[in-house]
């Protein structure tokens, strides 16, 4: 279904309030508290109705397996983040023609979903959000994780530092022993992740990097600040 136009929604909601409110308060002085009481009721109900309509629409467009929130088995493919000239912002690109299975093993949709569920449970259980941001929400003590899978630091610094063969191997080693591979005085504490848990988190981060976040963060990884 085509997206709503934000302007139509805005104008329609305000018009509804104005028309229904005016009809209901006809003949009343605007200094009368009842005038404002009725407008308050109309305003709240109209806005809440619009919110519900938009909520149903948003829920249908953000289910797992949609364009915006892809199926977990995208972790079998190469994912990049590229500028889309038509949209004017960066979009995740899932290269269905380039297999890049996580930990060298292709997973079924069912297995991928199990990994994602486990990854999310681990992320919640360790209160990751109270240091990091995910999709930009959380605390500001540690880097944003929205596109962490695509972070150039894994390849440039962490693979050699952890003596790993692949990015996912480096990520698992880091997650299990963050204090050992710290690159700054502000270290990540050891949150006692098992190997299974660390792998699930890596899968989650890869999947999360494929979510269409309307271009956030802008030009991720293309930095004029950090040079390796």
Task: Identify the CA nearest to 91 among candidates 208, 2, 216.
Answer: 216
Supply 162's token pair.
């952890």
Task: Please name which of 161, 183, 184 lies closest in space to residue 173, comparing C-alpha atoms.
Answer: 161
Q: Which of 12, 20, 131, 161 binds another protein (CB under 8 A)?
A: 131
74 makes contact with another protein (CB under 8 A) = no
Query: In angstroms, rounded to a whole number, what is the distance separating the alpha carbons of residues 70 and 100?
Result: 16
- Cα 145 to Cα 134: distance, rounded to the nearest angstrom: 5
Query: What residues numbered 190-209 form the site for another protein, per CB under 8 A?
Result: 191-192, 194, 197, 200, 208
- Write the burial class of residue 210 (CB in 10 Å: 0-12 exposed, 13-18 middle, 19+ buried): buried
> Looking at 85, 105, 163, 185, which residue binds another protein (CB under 8 A)?
185
Q: Which of 15, 139, 160, 165 binds another protein (CB under 8 A)?
A: 139
Q: At what angle do helices 6-24 and 33-61 cross, to 10 degrees?
A: 150
Stretch that binds another protein, among 100-108, 162-170, 179-187 (CB under 8 A): 179-187
Please, which residue, 109 or 152, has the CB nearer to another protein? Answer: 152
Decide whether 97 or 222 has the Cβ nearer to another protein: 222
Q: Tokens representing 192?
A: 């006692």
- 211 lines the binding site for another protein (CB under 8 A): yes
Task: Tell me which of 7, 27, 97, 163 binds another protein, using CB under 8 A.
Answer: 7
Q: Nearer Cβ to another protein, position 63 or 99?
A: 63
Among 79, 102, 107, 148, binds another protein (CB under 8 A): 148
CB 212 within 8 A of CB 91: yes
Please say which residue, 162 or 212, places its beta carbon nearer to another protein.
212
Considering the complex, state which of residue 77 and residue 132 has its C-beta at the smaller distance from another protein.
132
């Amino acid at each position: 279904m085509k997206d709503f136009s934000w302007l139509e929604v805005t104008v329609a909601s305000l018009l509804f309030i104005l028309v229904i409110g005016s009809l209901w308060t006809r003949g009343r002085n605007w200094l009368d508290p009842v005038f404002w009481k009725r407008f308050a009721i109309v305003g709240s109900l109209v806005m809440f109705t619009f919110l519900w309509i938009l909520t149903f629409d948003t829920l249908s467009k953000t289910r797992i397996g949609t364009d915006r929130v892809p199926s977990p088995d995208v972790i079998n493919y190469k994912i990049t983040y590229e500028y889309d000239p038509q949209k004017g912002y960066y979009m995740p690109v899932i290269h269905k023609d380039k297999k890049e299975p996580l930990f060298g093993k292709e997973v079924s949709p069912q297995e991928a979903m199990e990994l994602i569920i486990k990854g999310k449970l681990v992320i919640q259980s360790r209160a990751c959000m109270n240091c990091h941001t995910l999709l930009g929400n959380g605390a500001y003590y540690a880097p944003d994780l929205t596109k962490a899978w695509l972070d150039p630091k894994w390849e440039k610094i962490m693979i050699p530092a952890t003596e790993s063969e692949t990015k996912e191997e480096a990520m698992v080693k880091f997650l299990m022993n963050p204090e050992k591979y710290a690159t700054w005085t502000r270290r990540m504490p050891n949150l006692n992740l098992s190997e299974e848990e660390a792998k699930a988190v890596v899968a989650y981060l890869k999947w999360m990097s494929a979510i269409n976040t309307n271009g956030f963060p802008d030009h991720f990884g293309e930095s004029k600040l950090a040079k390796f």
